[in-house]
Amino acid sequence: MDRFFFPETSRKVAAPRGWIEVVCGSMFSGKTEELIRRLNRARIARQRVEIFKPMIDTRYSVEDVVSHDAKAIRSTPVPSPRNILLMTSEVDVVGIDEAQFFDSSLVDVCTDLANQGVRVIVAGLDMDFRGNPFGPIPALMAIAEYVTKVHAICINCGNLAHYSHRKGLSDQLVVLGEQDIYEPLCRNCYNEENHS
């Protein structure tokens, strides 16, 4: 680890290091909007920023990360988390959207970047449509220095929602869609929908 030596105190102080931030929640909760906000602030601070998303996510744009309220930021679509390591030399901040679509190697990639002194900001769904932990997000939450859980509004009762209820009958884990396929629900409404 790099250390700075301060002669007046005769002690060594660790150099600033990187860290991991996770922004998670249900669909329509503002995860991508918060990711874009943090990345734009890093750019205002003249930090070198790179943004990535899974190649599978082409809902709003092939290249841009786009929030549900149409805020957008340029990104690089990648097929695998390992590709991120190949494109992040000389950066201060790495943003990763829709992280639930990546495999578990994303945890090692984020750890490697943070250990190299990079601020890593990851956004994604923490639960799938069945209410189960989704992809690498739970493991990232466990190792992150900062975790922000954002909530949508339940479309049935108006309470805070943290479930992404799928309206269709497909049992496939990954089905890309928006309000035509998914709706945010609170725990009670989600349980009622799934036990009726």
For residue 1, the model assigns a pLDDT of 45
Q: State how far the Cα of 185 lies from the Cα of 90, in Å rounded to an integer.
A: 42
In the chain, the amino acid numbered 158 is G
Categorise residue 26: left if φ over 0, alpha if ψ from -120 to 50, beta otherwise: beta
* Position 82 in a domain: yes
Q: Please, what's the b/e burial string for 97-123 (b: 16 or more CB within 10 A of its CB; e: otherwise)?
A: bbbbbbeeebbebbbbbbeeebbbbbb
The DSSP code sequence of 96-142 is: E-SGGGS-THHHHHHHHHHHTT-EEEEEEESB-TTSSB-TTHHHHHH
Query: Pairing relation of β-strands 93-96 and 49-54?
Result: parallel
* Position 72 in a domain: yes
pTM of the model: 0.83
* Residues near 7 by beta carbon (within 8 Å), at least 6 away in sequence: none
Q: State how far the Cα of 178 lies from the Cα of 41, in Å rounded to an integer.
A: 27
* Position 20 in a domain: yes
* Position 184 in a domain: no
Q: DSSP letter at 26?
A: S
**What 3-state class would DSSP assign to 35?**
helix
Both tokens assigned to 160: 């805070």
* Position 27 in a domain: yes
Query: What is the full per-residue pLDDT of the chain (196 aa) written as tens digits?
Result: 444 444 555 556 555 589 999 999 999 999 999 999 999 999 999 999 999 999 887 666 666 666 666 677 788 999 999 999 999 989 999 999 999 999 999 999 999 999 999 999 999 999 999 999 999 999 999 999 999 999 999 999 999 999 999 887 667 666 655 557 889 999 999 999 887 6
Overall number of domains in the chain: 1
Q: What CATH code is carried by the domain that includes residue 42?
A: 3.40.50.300
- Are residues 137 and 96 in contact, defined by beta-carbon separation less than 8 angstroms? no
Q: State how far the Cα of 83 lies from the Cα of 124, in Å rounded to an integer.
A: 18
For residue 194, the model assigns a pLDDT of 84
* Position 178 in a domain: no
* Position 137 in a domain: yes
Q: State how far the Cα of 136 lies from the Cα of 126, in Å rounded to an integer.
A: 9
> By residue range, what is the domain housing residue 35?
15-151
Annotated catalytic residues are: 98
For residue 17, the model assigns a pLDDT of 80
